[in-house]
Homo-oligomer: A and B are copies of this chain.
């Protein structure tokens, strides 16, 4: 689902890995830190685990992992999901930055995932620019990435980085970035 959406949307080359993490604050925290600090993923998309049930611990892990929380992601994802179901307010999904990685919590239900991706992804390429992650391009026919004009000149000379991460998504470093 997420992979198909990315394949249709992101036109710059990227490596995509997928990882299944058992429920629990420690396991999710560990996996996220590994992806950010060792694998140096540019973008990490999680799915599920954001509800109010005892097993839902993704937000607790996010609190340990994030250096900067970006509350606008969760606000917008809940707002668009509310058009589908009033229970959208039960989601504690958020997003934020750790080092040069952006982590975004997506909902667990497939119908809501696409809705949320369409809502927040237009801001993601510029966010990756700002935090020093790799530059990505999207297919404008599918989704228009917004880069405010005055700041698109920020240069982005990331050195090539190895990665062995899963459940993450990162662009390959190319000379034209």
B72 & A109 in contact (Cβ 8 Å cutoff)? no
List residues of A (51-65) whose CB comes within 8 Å of B's CBs: 51-54, 56, 59
The interface residues of chain A, by DSSP majority, are classed as: helix
Q: Which residues of B contact A86 (CB under 8 A)?
A: 120, 122-123, 146
Q: Does A13 lie at the interface of the complex (its beta carbon under 8 Å from any beta carbon of B)? A: no
Q: Which residues of B contact A59 (CB under 8 A)?
A: 68
Of B54, B87, B127, which contacts A87 at CB under 8 A?
B127
Number of identical protomers: 3
- Complex: how many Å from CA A132 to CA B51? 13
- Complex: how many Å from CA A91 to CA B72? 7
Q: Does A131 lie at the interface of the complex (its beta carbon under 8 Å from any beta carbon of B)? A: yes
A sample of 13 cross-chain residue pairs with beta-carbon separation below 8 angstroms, ordered by A number, consists of A52-B102, A52-B127, A53-B130, A54-B131, A56-B68, A70-B90, A71-B74, A71-B92, A72-B88, A85-B146, A86-B122, A87-B146, A89-B123
